[in-house]
Chain A
Amino acid sequence: MSELPGNPQLLVWLISLPLLGALMSVACRKAGRWTAMTAMIGNLVLACLLLAATQDGTLRYALGGWEAPLGIALYADTFSAMMIAITALVGAVISGYSLSYFATGSATERSFWPLWCLLLTALNTLFLSGDVFNLYVGLEVLSLSAVALVTLAPGLAATRAALRYLLASLMGSLCYLLGVALLYYAHATLDLALLADLTGDGPLERAALALMIVGLLLKTALFPLHFWLPPAHAGAPAPVSALLSALVLKGTFYLILRLWFDTLEEAANQLGTLLLGVLGCAAILWGSVQAIRATRLKQLVAYSTVAQIGYLFALFPLLGHATARVTAFDSMIYFIMAHACAKGAMFLAAGNILTVAGHDRIAELRAANLPSAITLFALAIAGISLIGLPPTGGFIAKWLMLQSAFHAGSWWLVVVVLLGGLLAAAYVFRVVAICFDRSEVSAPTDTAPRVATINPGREWSALVLALAALALGLLAAPALALFDATALMG
């Protein structure tokens, strides 16, 4: 263990530790939360070590000592390390929130910890695996645990949303698997690095890439394939919504990026890049408009995720541009990190409001039935980051994106980004305005205004994530220095 830092063994520990946490939390049911928390904290430490280790070069580990075509290799560069680190950070804070969200000893709580540990195992596998079939298995663990987590919410609506999520996700998995089968048929290897060398731009590679990307888009919920997202993300318990919006979508997005710009780069053509960019722009506008029209707070936040995913894809034409791409990659990693923190904070804050007020109907929320200023402060900071105002991470992401778009001369993107910011301001201020609304609720609702108290841990966790989004804005230069965009461009 002493030689751990800088050692490729880190890669296997990053997958083994959450899995061990999952097994332990199933086996010792009563202490499940503490074994899981230990795994989360250990994972955060390992993630920091990985981030440090990848600064000196990429890591590669052949599992079982079997080299690439026969065995499975794990692989990490600065991009995967950044993803692992942001996942570990946001995941640890959400775990802290969950400690006081679920009733101790309830069946829901006992299921939550193993499922969340398995979800983390799957995310780390997605970020580290260098084998297309192993990635498929990772995708299955990811989707199934995400669906299972949605079912933890009581009620038929959540079950229905989970079922729709399951079907969409399975469809996506099957498309991906068909693409993998085509690639294996053509090249007799499943290793990403070997495939990157072997594949050209023949019709078979194009078909495989199209199938895999469509499958992953369905899981990433890019407009118009987002139909399953709002009910699933809005219906899940608050910490689960935060995990799904902040982390799970990024896992499949990461894979799309790897396939499109690295492994199957030659098969990916300009037209496809442009199409993804246009769909991304449509997602920004559609998601924002739906968020403005939403009647419930969690629904609003879920539609905001649809819009924010749009920004990631709107960057695609810039990522494909010859000179603008380095800035575009920086912008993309910043969108991922800032959105993970801000959206996590927003869902956690929404969960606090839901608990205290007893409902999340925006029209009936007043300052009187809201939790304390800590939650509201978190909500406001997270909202500012989503709009893209300084000094938050969201601002840096948009600034870099605009810079890249100017450089590439893509004026239409500039217009969409500015419009998206305005629309985001409209839905964020709709929520923030509530906090200052001191009027009485006009229509008497089904129950008397019920003001529950919540554990301060829940309020502080939301604030910590919001402050992380703020810190990303203030510490942009050191954060970007950790990320080497050129590594991705092969």
Chain B
Amino acid sequence: MRSNEDNAGLPPVARLLLAIGMVAIGLVLAWALWSHSETSSSLAAAVMTELPRSGVSNPVTAVLLNFRAFDTMLELAVLLLVAVTVGGLRDPREVSAFAQVKQAASVSPLLQSLARDLVPIMMLTSGYLLWIGAKAPGGAFQAGAVLAAAAVLAHLSGRPWLSNPGDWRIRALLVLGTGAFLVSALALLLVTGTYFRYPPALAGAWILIIETAATLSIAAMLYVTFCAVVPMMPSRR
């Protein structure tokens, strides 16, 4: 049984050797980078050339939702995986943890008024980030994160948006993001004959629909994950 003393840490000599080894690897990598004499290029030029055909004018969104939409679909599947693992499908015993927040709600009037003022603004901000993603930095991930933060704030101030993590509506929201990508990809396969090829005229609208679904889904996944990990916190005192 090798390492039952994991917590005790390594002896100093081993740490020193490890540090020397790491520095050596770092130096070798630096040398490899430095010795690469050719002028490095990137795909930025190719992205800019095809940008007019992508349906959006923000190159990052074009890459995420059009050129490499397949990657983004799998990334949303990663989030879904986390939400399923930590929360979404667990037993009702976790529901009691949700209920606990309610009774601890009388903690602070300050928190309540903060939540009352901030949550609507955060929801608006989220909508703005989603909309602006087509032309400037923003998009589903940022919008979803802000929306999830609003949900967390509401949760902490005693007004949880969700009372039962096994609710079918929550599960529908969890699959909505990946589902929007997958259903779009398959629908586009029928319409244009190619997986994930948007008809150029409709690309912008189609991407906005997928992003809206993804925003809601990302917010739900982050919130479910939060609920599964943190619900005990307010009532700990």
Contact = CB atoms under 8 A, between A and B. Distances in A.
Contacts of A151: 85
B197 to A, nearest CB: 4
A69 B50 CA distance: 12
B78 A137 contact: yes
Given A26-B88, A72-B68, A203 B35 contact: yes
A185 B33 contact: yes
B194 A65 contact: yes
B105 interface: no
A145 B189 CA distance: 28
Nearest to B83: A26
A61 B195 contact: yes
A406 interface: no
Contact of B186 (A16, A22, A114, A118): A16
A148 interface: yes
A182 B35 CA distance: 12
B197 A65 contact: yes
Interface string A215-238: 000000000000100000000000
A206 B74 CA distance: 29
Interface string A111-140: 100110010011001000000011001101
B172 A134 contact: no
B81 A29 contact: no
B74 A138 contact: yes
Interface residues of A, number: 51
B32 A206 contact: yes
B89 interface: yes
B103 to A, nearest CB: 25
Contact of B182 (A19, A64, A107, A133): A19
Given A64-B70, A64-B195, A145 B81 contact: yes
B196 A63 contact: yes
A26 B2 CA distance: 39
> Most chain-A Cβ atoms within 10 A of its Cβ — which of B31, B32, B40, B192?
B32
Interface string A255-282: 0000000000000000000000000000
Interface residues of B, number: 55
A111 to B, nearest CB: 5
Interface in B138-186: 166, 168, 171-172, 174-175, 178-179, 182, 185-186
Interface stretch (B12-20, B41-49, B115-123): B41-49
A411 interface: no
B5 interface: no
B35 to A, nearest CB: 5
A71 interface: yes
A133 B81 CA distance: 19
A185 B28 CA distance: 16
A99 interface: no
B59 to A, nearest CB: 11
B84 A115 contact: yes
A12 B81 contact: no
A63 B29 CA distance: 33
A20 interface: yes
B186 A72 contact: no
Contact of A70 (B50, B81, B185): B50
Given A27-B171, A63-B195, 15 more contacts: A12-B189, A26-B171, A26-B175, A27-B172, A29-B168, A65-B196, A66-B66, A70-B67, A133-B68, A137-B74, A148-B81, A151-B85, A184-B42, A188-B43, A227-B2
14 contacts: A22-B77, A23-B175, A26-B89, A26-B171, A29-B166, A29-B168, A64-B196, A65-B192, A114-B80, A134-B71, A141-B77, A182-B33, A185-B40, A227-B3
Which 4 residue pairs spanning A and B have beta carbons closest together? A64-B196, A207-B32, A65-B197, A148-B85
